[in-house]
Amino acid sequence: MDERWTTVTLAADAAKPHEEALHWVTSRVGTGIERIRVIGVDPAIEGRTGPDGKRVADALADAARRAMPDVRVEVRRHAGPFAAALVEESDGGDLLVVGTFRG
């Protein structure tokens, strides 16, 4: 890959693999990223809050804004299957980044 993406889509999940995904994206600051879309899915998951009392997607978006202040960050929420929301939201973007669980 030539690492020239302008729109990156990130999955926000209460299980926290999104932290690894965000780290991967922010390590590429200065590569032309202009917009990050943070996707929150499933009201039951999205309703959970972290220690700061924020919803998972909002906390991830705040972390992205702190790490990349010149990048426009937006949160989008969906009800229904996570995979379907990611496919829908990543359409029109340049890159979809999801984290993994490590044992």
Mean pLDDT over the full length of the chain: 79
Give the pTM.
0.79
Q: Tell me the per-residue pLDDT of 28-63, one tens digit each, with 9 for 90 and over.
A: 777 788 999 998 876 555 556 666 777 888 888 999
Task: Give the whole-number percent of the chain exceeding pLDDT 70.
Answer: 80
Please state, in angstroms and rounded to a whole number, the distance separating the CA atoms of residues 60 and 62: 5
State the DSSP H helix or E strand holding residue 43, giving kind and residue range, or none if neither: helix 43-46
Please state, in angstroms and rounded to a whole number, the distance separating the CA atoms of residues 44 and 102: 24
Domain count, the chain: 1
Please state, in angstroms and rounded to a whole number, the distance separating the CA atoms of residues 3 and 34: 13
Residue range of the domain that includes 46: 8-97
- Residue 20: inside a domain, yes or no? yes
Question: One-letter amino acid identity for 99?
Answer: G
- Residue 102: inside a domain, yes or no? no
- Residue 1: inside a domain, yes or no? no
The CATH number covering residue 79 comes to 3.40.50.620
What is the DSSP annotation of 51-93?
TTS-BHHHHHHHHHHHH-TTSEEEEEEE-S-HHHHHHHHHTTS
